[in-house]
A and B are shown apart, each in its own frame.
Chain A
Amino acid sequence: MTGARRRERWREGWRELRRYPSALLGLAIIAALVALALATPIAIPYGEALAKWRGSEAWQRNPVNAAPVWLDRLTGGDAPRTLVIESETATVEERAFAGGRRLRIPLAFDFEAGGFPSELNLFLRAPGHAQPPFARLTWLTPDGRELALGGYRIGPRERISLSQDRALERRLGGLVPHIGLLAEPGGAAAPDAEPRVLPGRYTLRLDVLVFDEAAAFDAELVLYGRVHGIAGTDHQRRDLSLALMWGTPVALAFGLLAAVGTTVTTLVIAAVGVWYRGWVDATIQRLTEINMILPILPILVMVGTLYSTSIWLMLGVVVVLGIFSAGIKMYRAMLLPIREAPYIEAAQAYGASNSRIVLRYLIPRILPVLIPTFVTLIPTFVFLEASLAVLGLGDPLLPTWGKVLNDAQSQSALYNGYYYWVVSPAVLLMLTGLGFAMLGFALDRVFNPRLRSL
């Protein structure tokens, strides 16, 4: 019976709320963020996310500072994605000779994109060789030219950065190899003309001398694209989508916990002060007044600089500093008339304890007014966390929106034209603010009907 009545009240509240399109939009945004926050730890477990974000080999096939794919496609671009050509898929010719083998590995690929790659790397692995193998590289273009790219002695793990080969650059008429190797010939004749992609089938042929019967040898040619994934990459080739996804649960958890922590403690303390009056109230008021003039951001910066920038420590400091926040003054003003309500006196007369009066009779009376405030409080803490991260006081391990912004700032993303790097975390932050604000304002009208216009 109680359950049914409670359901009925919820349904009534929902009907009321539905009248505000902003509330529905806000709810939709919050629902999407919450869904993302829940899905992220399942898709990318915490430990894995931390390890990846710290920087690892997982990223070495990602381009540096690549824009999101959809952004390029939306603006009508045809920038290349990353191409990885592995020796395992190539048809390897093998000929044995006394004391070793000769391998011919053609790494062939079709290049049709509208732009040049951003980088060209060759990864070679030759583990377990007593004597290092030797490889000779030849570049075959669709129009039949052959370019010798030199020979290399191959260690167990070798990375040949073709893009960094200055000699090759000079031979290509001053074009960096990842452009020169794929450009239409004749670019050097007209140095002012933009090089253009020569579409067709290219091959990087590896002629490898292996001095071991059994040991493996494989190669991987990576033509880094200019676009990557749905969020692009940063200066360390890290996929930004990881930080943007993991930033969601972190931001929501921080905002929610900080809002709950400060609101609940502040409310209870205000109610205790109002109920007991006298020196209890006076002490609370003085503490609040002292706390109100303490600057929270500099204190957080100090804690972060001198002690630790762990997000949970920051959360703790935010909550502790929030306990005696200015909210106490507001709650006190709201609770004072309620304290004198006859029903409180009646409760005393039938023997309700002080704690029961504070928690059951005083606080519930102002809760409806607080719910909208509480909802709009959540994003302010999300912003606070982001601000700290932008100031370089982000959590040392966790990928968060603020840390993405911090990286973008330190790499002068806007100056270099990497707008996506700044805009995507900023949009997520703004969406969070917008969602909670729209819901909060609508709730305010539902719970405080006096705000409604006639």
Chain B
Amino acid sequence: MSSPADLQPEDAKAPLIAARDLHTWFELRQWGFLRVGAVRAVDGVDFALAGGEAVAFVGESGCGKSSLARTLLGLHRPTRGEVRFAGRSLGELQGRALKAYRAEVGYVQQDPYGALPPFLDVRRILAEPLIVHGVRDRAERERRIRAALEEVRLSPAEAFLGQFPHMLSGGQQQRVVIARALILAPRLLIADEPVSMLDASVRVEILELLRHIQRERGLTLAFITHDLSTVRHYAERIFVMYAGRVVESAPVDDLLDHPQHPYTQALIAAIADPDAANATRLREVPAGEPPSLLHPPAACRFHPRCPHFMAGLCDVEDPPDFTPRRDHRSACWLHR
């Protein structure tokens, strides 16, 4: 497995998936045609992920993580900028090529029960992507379905093939969702809060499973979460998102141990700590509310909540990406 030091996608290796100046805005219209504004869910995101890399996108709810995931999946058209997958721009893909792209990207959703059609059994749920992608041979399908179930540790596969989603536990449902995401042998897996709706007891199992599969298959894993505490063991790099932008990105240990952006610092400080002594200690929590994506603050989106706010700078000019540490980017004027 590659160590964080090797991961320099900007360098030699061509990235598997890259976003450049990516914007996904949802226009609000009145009477069907009058533009009255736009929700800037993704508002200028740049990154590049190498093949076999596990990364995490972290941020509060409403920061545009899920919209970013959907844009990467090609479910939303970017308003500006582009997503490139294996050297090709997603916007250029049409028909067959787009369908082929969909087989290259697996998607694991937050709510495992909702993610499975309740009227189909597990066999049929897993067969659907194969049917859609033209696997006609029944025996071949059956073989791949069983293999996928075994891979997500739902074994013996027999016992699960005939089950309907409501007969399974939350953890089992999420395993079926993962199996479905893997059955087309994708190169990229996007997991949008895969454990946030599961019992605490099965979260670690699912995360371990994802990590294991990612390593086994050499998948690129984009892991979207609001929970910094789980990230350390399951990702190599972290992107911290705020109001539709990536404010800080770094290898996981470096970011957790030496957070540079004031927002990341606040997030880390807010991580719940099981130490009883902490209960009495007053925490430094980011004050205020996450910003409105309809009318985001000017310049640095975080400036209204920032303890280091510099009037006349942070609210006037967008901070560029600085590199305060090696491989560590942070969009904050403090580093200038």
Please give the number of chain B residues whose Cβ is less than 8 angstroms from any Cβ of chain A in the complex: 30
The chain A residue with its CB closest to the CB of B75 is A348
A347 and B32 contacting across the interface, CB-CB below 8 Å: no
Could you tell me the distance in whole angstroms from the C-beta of A3 to the nearest C-beta in chain B? Answer: 12
Which positions 297-324 of chain A face chain B at CB distance < 8 Å? none
Q: 10 smallest A-B Cβ distances: which pairs?
A: A351-B102, A349-B107, A342-B114, A350-B129, A342-B115, A351-B99, A343-B117, A342-B109, A349-B73, A352-B132
Q: Give chain A's interface secondary structure class.
A: helix
Chain B residues whose C-beta falls within 8 Å of the C-beta of A5 in the assembled complex: 121, 162
Q: Does any Cβ of A come within 8 Å of B103's Cβ?
A: yes
Contact B109 A365 (CB under 8 A): no
Q: A100 at the A/B interface (Cβ < 8 Å)?
A: no
Q: Is the CB of B75 within 8 A of A352?
A: no
Instruction: Known contacts A352-B128, A364-B119; decide if A341 and B114 are in contact (CB<8 Å).
Output: yes
Report B30 CB to chain A, min CB distance, Å: 15
A43 within 8 A of B: no
Q: Tell me, in angstroms, the Cα distance from A345 to B32 when the chains sit together.
A: 24
Taken together as a complex, chains A and B put the C-alpha atoms of A187 and B119 apart, in Å, by 81
**Which residue in chain A gives the minimum CB-CB distance to B101?**
A351
Once the chains are docked, how many angstroms separate the CA of A284 from the CA of B6?
56
A348 to B128, CA, bound (A): 11
- Are A350 and B111 interface neighbours, CB within 8 A? no
Report the Cα distance A341→B177, complex, angstroms: 14
Count residues of chain A with CB under 8 A from any CB of chain B.
20
Is A361 an interface position by the 8 A CB rule?
yes
Say which residue of A343, A351, A356 sits within 8 Å of B114 (CB atoms): A343
The answer on a CB contact under 8 Å between A356 and B132 is: yes
Q: Closest residue to A348 on the B side, CB-wise?
A: B75
Interface residues of B in 220-241 (CB under 8 A from A): none
Bound complex: CA A345 to CA B75 (Å) = 8
Instruction: Find A350's partner among B102, B110, B162 (CB 8 Å cutoff).
Output: B102
Residue A353 is within 8 A (CB to CB) of chain B in the complex: yes
Q: Are B75 and A342 in touch, CB under 8 angstroms?
A: no
1/0 per residue A72-103: CB within 8 Å of B? 00000000000000000000000000000000
Q: How far is the CB of A360 from chain B (nearest CB, A)?
A: 8
Contact of B75 with A347 in the complex, beta carbons under 8 Å: no
Restricting to A197-244, which residues have a CB under 8 Å from any CB of B?
none
Cα A4 to Cα B119 with chains together (Å): 17
Interface assignment of A346: CB less than 8 Å from any CB of chain B: yes
* Contact B132–A343 (Cβ < 8 Å): no
A350 and B75 contacting across the interface, CB-CB below 8 Å = no
Assembly CA distance A349 to B70 (angstroms): 9
Question: Using a CB–CB distance below 8 Å, which chain B residues touch chain A?
Answer: 32, 70, 73, 75, 98-99, 102-103, 105-107, 109-111, 114-119, 121, 128-129, 132-133, 162, 177, 180-181, 184
What residue of chain B has the Cβ atom nearest to residue A351's Cβ? B102
Does A282 touch B at the CB level, under 8 Å? yes
Q: Are A350 and B109 in contact (CB under 8 A)?
A: no
* Complex contacts, A1 vs chain B, CB 8 Å: 162
Partner of A351, one of B118, B133, B162: B133
Inter-chain contact B162/A342, CB cutoff 8 Å:
no
Cβ A349 vs Cβ B114 within 8 A: no
**Known contacts A5-B162, A342-B114: A350-B107 contact under CB 8 Å:** yes
Chain A residue numbers with a CB within 8 Å of B102 are: 349-351
24 cross-chain CB contacts under 8 A: A5-B162, A342-B109, A342-B115, A343-B115, A343-B116, A343-B117, A345-B109, A346-B107, A347-B128, A348-B73, A349-B73, A349-B75, A349-B102, A349-B107, A350-B103, A350-B107, A350-B129, A351-B129, A351-B133, A352-B128, A352-B132, A360-B128, A365-B118, A365-B119
- 15 more A-B contacts (CB under 8 A) besides A1-B162, A345-B75, A350-B102? A5-B121, A341-B114, A342-B111, A345-B107, A346-B107, A346-B115, A347-B128, A349-B102, A349-B107, A350-B128, A350-B181, A351-B133, A356-B132, A365-B118, A365-B119
Identify the interface centre among B111, B117, B119: most chain A CB within 10 Å of its CB.
B117
Chain A residues near B117: list those with CB within 8 A. 343, 347, 361, 364-365
Nearest CB on B from A17, distance (A): 19
A310 CB, nearest partner CB in chain B, Å = 40
A346 surroundings in chain B (CB, below 8 A)? 107, 109, 115, 177, 180
Pick the most buried of A282, A353, A360, A361: most chain B CB atoms within 10 A of its CB: A360
